Amino acid sequence: MEQIKRFIADFGLPRVIIAVYLLGLFLMTPMVDVSLWGALSDVFTRIGMNGIMVLALIPMIQSGCGLNFGLSLGVIAGLLGATFSIEMGYVGVWGFIFAILVSQVFGAIFGFGYGTLLNCVKGGEMMIATYVGFSSVMIMSIAWLVLPYKSPVMIWGYGGEGLRTTISVEGFWRHILDDFLSFPIAGYRFPTGAILFFILVSFVIWAFFHLKTGTAMTAVGSNPIYARASGISVNRMRIISVIISTMLGAMGIIVYQQSFGFIQLYDGPLYMAFPAVAAILIGGAGVNKASLTNVFLGVTLYQGILTMTPLIFNAVLKLDMSDVIRIIVSNGMILYALTRKMKVLK
Amino acid sequence: MKRLRLFFIENAVVILFVILISIAIPASRLPGKFLLQEILTRLGRSSFLVIALLLPIMAGMGLNFGMVLGAMAGQIGLIFVMDWEIIGIPGLLLAMLISLPISIFLGWLCGSIMNRAKGREMVTGFILGFFMNGIYMLFALYAMGSIIPVMNPELLLSRGYGIRNVVDLISVRQALETFIPLRVAGLNIPVLNYLLIAGVSVFIVWFRKTKFGQDMRAAGQDRAVAGAAGIAVDRTRIIAVIVSTVLAGFGQIIFLQNLGTINTTNSHEQIGLFSIATLLIGGASVTKASIPNAFVGVVLFHLLFLVAPMAGKNLIGSAMLGEYFRQFVSYGVIAVALVLYEWKRLAQEENSRSRLWGGKADAL
């Protein structure tokens, strides 16, 4: 009993509730005639889809910049990469790689500017990040209208101007990762490529945080005074962390698109950061501490809930409350993390 | 000369918007009389909401992104009034009365949570708004009509429970505006709205001068000093948020009765953004805001609101462009205000640290 209590205290009550809830949903699958394998396949597809965007939050949390609510900036870089690739007419693997390459360039540029700005506002990053993200999405909405794209798959047909709100990547690089090495389990597809890619990027991040720069970054986040005394440039580390975060966000959205099948422009990236933030917090990260375990656990739990809730609720109650549950769970989790950290500091 | 420069620096945002709008108005080719009428209406519609933001700023809690909680309370009040079919001014008064306890509770909740997250009240309030939106949806879409009786089937979704996406406020629509009809030079003046706004302005001025108001401003200046002087800082902050939430609830009712419809799931969502952007465009900052800021803000923001789509259409041939530009301005002005605020705060801390190095470790 004592052990259970301590485990709950360490793990955090909200997380325990979420884990138990998800487990309950899985256990209910046979009772309500929902295929467990189908559900699992969906969960894995969504983990592969969203994993890298959650991963993108780690560098900034570690360097003490807080939760990157401005991830939409990275998403915008990704959108630029994706649209460039389609504009050039690259198809298949090369299209996908070209999209990622272009997005990384934009991600680095945006990240540098964004990081420089955040260095001027230490301590107030999160709110500013949110609104910098929001306003960039709007500037880009204007850009999508006026940029001289030519590809007929992307621009509105006759009469309209600018790019479409959603662009299908079918025929370009739809499911390029999901279908790579994928195999069926009980008739449902396992998205091997996407999961492998997620693991690969995670490994790179893991390795990075064991190198000199990564360690220095963690030091800046844990104790900036100590880091400065050890001869680490705090501002430089923070900028690097923001650049990496933005670049990962850019890569993340392209991985998301290849699985989802569509590029969403205009208002699309506005709230992209929030599910990722909620996921990493559900996984046990704090406002200034995050690990890969948090990412894996978080993205599994969060995407698990998102997939399973509508399945089970629809089957049992003929009621789709999944949207409301998603809003309450994800924002409740962010709120919990925001109020908890200050208690520790006090 | 120096004073002139200071004036320009202090009012940079307002001046920028005046310039922007003086370019956009001719480009929009909208008639002046139409604009004037719209501004008069919109002053009556939105000022109350903007004024609701003032108290937390004085209490040093920044821009109250949690005001959407009050807006939700106001909407719940209106929905009940529509269900009970109480028309006109009595209906609005009853809606306010219903929203009052809900607002007080939500305000207390918001204040308590913000007290647990001192120094990051804004982001906490912002997320709290999203969170409570979930609870509100649970209430409006699932509890209403199933657990809570709703008599009027017109309000309900076809499945038998849950409030419709759009609620028509036909019975209270513009009740305030038409209560004292006044036409000056062909323009309708919403007299009662202006009286209410004058009332709340007087209330704010009076409130600031009471013992409690002084405590609140002391807490806003420096929490530690105020605490040492025997002011119950936490309690003061909670009350500031409660008053703000209650006013936001009333403000939302005034706002919606003018529009005539409620979008059940998202009427409240944008209110925080618009009100805050309005106040900032009026020249307020995160730490300093006054009643004139609110009025100047409403005029400038809504002028932009009105002319941006048409100006975009006439200049570049796309109405969407103006619309996006307007949204960009709403978000951007908040971003700029926050950056300036943090920048100033950091500079001050840097200053005090250079005198006593290591005194404020958390700011680095």
**Which tens digit of pLDDT belongs to each residue from B229-280?**
888 888 999 999 999 999 999 999 999 999 888 888 888 888 888 899 899 8
| Cα gap A55→A76, rounded to integer Å | 17
- Under 8 Å between Cβ of B107 and B250: no
The mean predicted confidence, pLDDT, of chain A is: 86
Confidence of residue B358 (pLDDT cuts 50, 70, 90): low
Who has greater pLDDT, A304 or B176? A304
Both tokens of residue B184?
């000056």
Q: At what angle do helices B88-116 and B233-259 cross, to 10 degrees?
A: 140
Chain B hits for A321, Cβ within 8 Å:
138, 142
**Which tens digit of pLDDT belongs to each residue from A130-175?**
999 999 999 999 888 888 888 877 877 665 677 888 888 888 888 8
Name which of A68, A76, A335, A343 to mutate to probe chain B: the one with the most chain B Cβ atoms within 10 A of its Cβ: A335
**What pLDDT score does B362 carry?**
46
Sort strands B183-184 and B187-188 into parallel, antiparallel or unpaired: antiparallel
**What pLDDT score does A56 carry?**
93
What secondary structure letter does DSSP report for B141? I
Sign of the alpha-carbon torsion through B258, B261, B262, B268: negative
Nearest to B339 among A120, A137, A323 (CB): A120
Nearest to B134 among A319, A328, A343 (CB): A328
Q: Is B142 in contact with A343 (Cβ distance < 8 A)? A: no
Q: Is B126 in contact with A139 (Cβ distance < 8 A)? A: no
Could you count the other beta carbons within 10 Å of the beta carbon of residue B330? Answer: 24
Chain A hits for B364, Cβ within 8 Å:
122, 224-225, 228, 234
What secondary structure letter does DSSP report for B139? I
For A161, nearest residue in chain B (alpha carbons): B318
Who has greater pLDDT, A220 or B353? A220
B336 to chain A, closest Cα gap in Å: 8
**What pLDDT score does B47 carry?**
93
Residue A341 has pLDDT above 60, yes or no: no
Tell me whether residue B37 is in a domain.
no
Q: Is B116 in contact with A135 (Cβ distance < 8 A)? A: no
Tell me whether residue B356 is in a domain.
no
Q: Which of A14-23, A284-293, A309-318 shows the lowest mean pLDDT across its residues?
A: A309-318
Chain A hits for B227, Cβ within 8 Å:
none
Tell me whether residue B216 is in a domain.
yes
- The per-residue DSSP string of A153-166 comes to TTB-STT--SB-SE
**What pLDDT score does B333 carry?**
84
List the domain range (segments joined by +) for residue B81: 48-293
A313 to chain B, closest Cα gap in Å: 14
Average pLDDT of A176-188?
79
Domains of chain A: 2-345 (1.10.3470)
For B65, nearest residue in chain A (alpha carbons): A127
**Which tens digit of pLDDT belongs to each residue from B97-123?**
999 999 999 999 999 999 988 878 888
Burial, B49: exposed, middle or buried (Cβ in 10 Å; 0-12, 13-18, 19+)? buried
| Cα gap A63→B269, rounded to integer Å | 32
Q: Is B342 in contact with A342 (Cβ distance < 8 A)? A: no
SS3 A204: helix
**Which tens digit of pLDDT belongs to each residue from B155-169?**
888 888 888 888 888
| Cα gap A6→A15, rounded to integer Å | 14
Tell me whether residue B208 is in a domain.
yes
SS3 B29: coil
Residue B360 has pLDDT above 50, yes or no: no
Nearest to A342 among B116, B335, B342 (CB): B116
Count structural domains, chain B: 1
Nearest to B338 among A124, A325, A334 (CB): A124
**What pLDDT score does A242 carry?**
94
- Under 8 Å between Cβ of B218 and B231: yes
Amino acid, single-letter form, for residue A23: L
| Cα gap B220→A8, rounded to integer Å | 37
Chain B hits for A117, Cβ within 8 Å:
339
Confidence of residue A343 (pLDDT cuts 50, 70, 90): very low
Tell me whether residue B280 is in a domain.
yes
Q: If residue B155 lies in a helix (H) or strand (E), which one and from where to where?
A: none
SS3 A168: strand
Residue B341 has pLDDT above 90, yes or no: no
Query: ipTM of this model?
Result: 0.84
For residue A189, the cross-strand partners are: A184
How far apart, in Å, are the Cα atoms of A281 and each of A15, B129, B341?
Answer: 9, 18, 28
Q: How far is CA B161 from the centre of its chain?
A: 31
Both tokens of residue B198?
């004058």
Tell me whether residue B357 is in a domain.
no
| Cα gap B317→B321, rounded to integer Å | 8
Q: Is B318 in contact with A145 (Cβ distance < 8 A)? A: yes
**Which tens digit of pLDDT belongs to each residue from B283-337?**
888 888 889 999 999 999 898 888 888 887 787 777 778 788 888 888 888 888 8
Average pLDDT of A179-190?
79
Confidence of residue A188 (pLDDT cuts 50, 70, 90): confident
Chain B hits for A327, Cβ within 8 Å:
130-131, 133-134, 137
**Which tens digit of pLDDT belongs to each residue from B217-226?**
888 888 888 8
Chain A hits for B361, Cβ within 8 Å:
224-225
Q: At what angle do helices A322-345 and B88-116 cross, to 10 degrees?
A: 40
